[in-house]
């Protein structure tokens, strides 16, 4: 037990031996552990312990000495992590987002400068959506844009896709009908992290895109009914996609709760919400089912509040990036010919790009 910087920390001796950063235990060049954790005696205790103003010293039975900076221990202790946010965000409804006047980033600045790229990624990390302006309205230029921040995630829909209302795929999205708010690929074990939309052409009316901050809605549920928030974070559901159209034959199943949180600080990191693709509920016992429906209704009510709806008109030249783990999207019905292109990005690579630019992600 150790107190530093107003934090009371408790450490297991095996943990303290395992995390030793000495040259024989840790390779500082590769940032990888060298110590064989299985070689540590589970009953190990130091034979000497000393603490000065900045450092903890432990001498182990074999004579090995481990040194820890107290600042490092606070940052990496369980107690310290409970107080830290993994991903700083600004939760929003339509008014909050509009009042923030989040700027779009010019395509040339995005592609050619670290400053433009960093501004874009900061917007994306904080709000879960970000726009790039003055993009040449072609699939090829949209692909170049996407690859600036990530590898493109190839899926059953291909690498880069064209999106029209020709029902070429067995999905409601390939029609002119309105689409209610949802997140994509809930039927993947790991839903796609980021979605890119670029409207290349629209000769008609309607078709505005709906955006809703799922984390803002979930926060309202947490405040109003924390027991329902907890239920939505613990009950696993199946989501399913069955397709038999033309040459496309797929059967995808993904399993997970609607709300996914880090267990040590209850921070929400993923919402899996798609009423179109939710499969038969057969993973929930009888005495929980009705409570789950009530909790889901509470969340749905928040997601459908008009004040939480941000409507945007996608136009040629303006690309939209959506955090598919956070922001739900939909659309209003439309007339005429409408063509979009886009892709999914691997979340790890987007966050990697952000961290390399000095952002917390």
pLDDT tens sequence across 183-219: 999 999 999 999 999 999 998 899 899 999 999 999 9
Say which CATH number the domain at 182 has.
Answer: 3.60.130.10
Does residue 144 share a domain with residue 74?
no
On whether both 134 and 75 belong to a single domain, the answer is no
CB atoms within 10 A of CB 291: 14
Q: Note the maximum CA span of the chain.
A: 78
Closest by alpha carbon to 172, among 257, 251, 245?
Answer: 245
Q: Are residues 75 and 127 in the same domain?
A: no
Domain shared by 75 and 90, yes or no: no
- Write down the pTM of the prediction: 0.91
Residues 285-321 have pLDDT tens digits of 999 999 999 999 999 999 999 999 999 999 999 999 9
CB neighbour list of residue 89: distance below 8 Å, 6 or more residues apart: 125, 126, 127, 128, 215, 326
Residue 163's pLDDT is 80
Best CA proximity match to 213, nearest among 103, 118, 318, 97: 97
Is the pLDDT score of 23 beyond 60? yes
- 165 pLDDT tier (thresholds 50, 70, 90): low
Average pLDDT over residues 114-133: 98
Are 119 and 263 in a shared domain? Answer: yes
pLDDT at residue 169 tops 60: no
The reply to whether 100 and 215 lie within a common domain is yes
Radius of gyration of the chain (CA): 24
* Beta pairing class for 161-163 and 268-271: unpaired
Average pLDDT score over residue span 148-170: 82
The pLDDT of residue 98: 97
Regarding whether 347 and 290 lie in a shared domain, the answer is yes
Do residues 125 and 56 share a domain?
no
Same domain, 158 and 65: no
Asked whether the beta carbons of 320 and 314 are under 8 A apart, the reply is yes
Model confidence over 326-343: pLDDT tens digits?
999 999 998 888 899 999
Number of domains in the chain: 2
Long-range own/partner contacts, residues 353-361 (CB < 8 A, 24 or more apart): 353/117, 353/121, 353/149, 353/150, 354/121, 354/125, 357/114, 357/117, 357/118, 357/121, 358/118, 359/118, 359/121, 359/122, 359/125, 360/87, 360/88, 360/125, 361/87, 361/121, 361/125
């Amino acid at each position: 037990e150790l107190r530093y910087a107003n934090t009371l920390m408790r450490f297991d001796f095996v943990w303290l031996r395992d995390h030793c950063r000495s040259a024989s235990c840790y390779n500082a060049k590769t940032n990888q552990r060298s110590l064989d954790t299985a070689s540590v005696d589970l009953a190990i205790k130091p034979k000497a312990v000393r603490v000065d103003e900045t450092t903890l010293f432990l001498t182990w039975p074999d004579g090995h000495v481990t040194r820890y900076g107290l600042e490092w221990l606070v940052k990496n202790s369980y107690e310290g992590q409970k107080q830290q946010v993994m991903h700083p965000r600004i939760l929003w409804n339509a008014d909050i987002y509009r009042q923030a006047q989040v700027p779009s980033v010019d395509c040339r600045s995005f592609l050619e400068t670290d400053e433009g790229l960093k501004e874009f990624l900061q917007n994306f990390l904080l709000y879960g959506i970000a726009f790039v302006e003055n993009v040449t309205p072609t699939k090829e230029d949209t692909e170049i844009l996407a690859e600036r921040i990530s590898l493109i995630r190839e899926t059953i829909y291909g690498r880069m896709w064209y999106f029209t209302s020709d029902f070429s795929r067995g999905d409601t999205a390939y029609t002119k009908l309105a689409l209610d708010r949802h997140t994509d690929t809930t039927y993947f074990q790991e839903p796609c992290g980021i979605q890119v939309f670029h409207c290349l052409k629209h000769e008609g009316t309607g078709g505005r895109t709906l955006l809703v901050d799922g984390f803002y809605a979930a926060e309202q549920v947490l405040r109003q009914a924390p027991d329902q928030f907890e239920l939505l974070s613990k009950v696993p559901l199946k989501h399913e996609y069955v397709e038999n159209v033309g040459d496309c034959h797929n059967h995808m199943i993904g399993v997970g709760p609607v709300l996914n949180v880090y267990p040590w600080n209850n921070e929400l990191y993923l919402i899996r919400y798609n009423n179109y693709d939710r499969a038969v509920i057969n993973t929930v016992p009888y005495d929980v089912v009705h409570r789950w429906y009530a909790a889901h209704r509470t969340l749905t009510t928040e997601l459908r509040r008009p004040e939480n709806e941000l409507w945007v008109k996608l136009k040629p030249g303006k690309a939209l990036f959506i955090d598919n783990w956070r922001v739900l999207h939909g659309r209003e019905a439309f007339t005429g010919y409408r063509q979009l292109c886009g892709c999914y990005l691997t979340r790890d690579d987007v966050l990697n790009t952000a961290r390399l630019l000095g952002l917390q992600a």
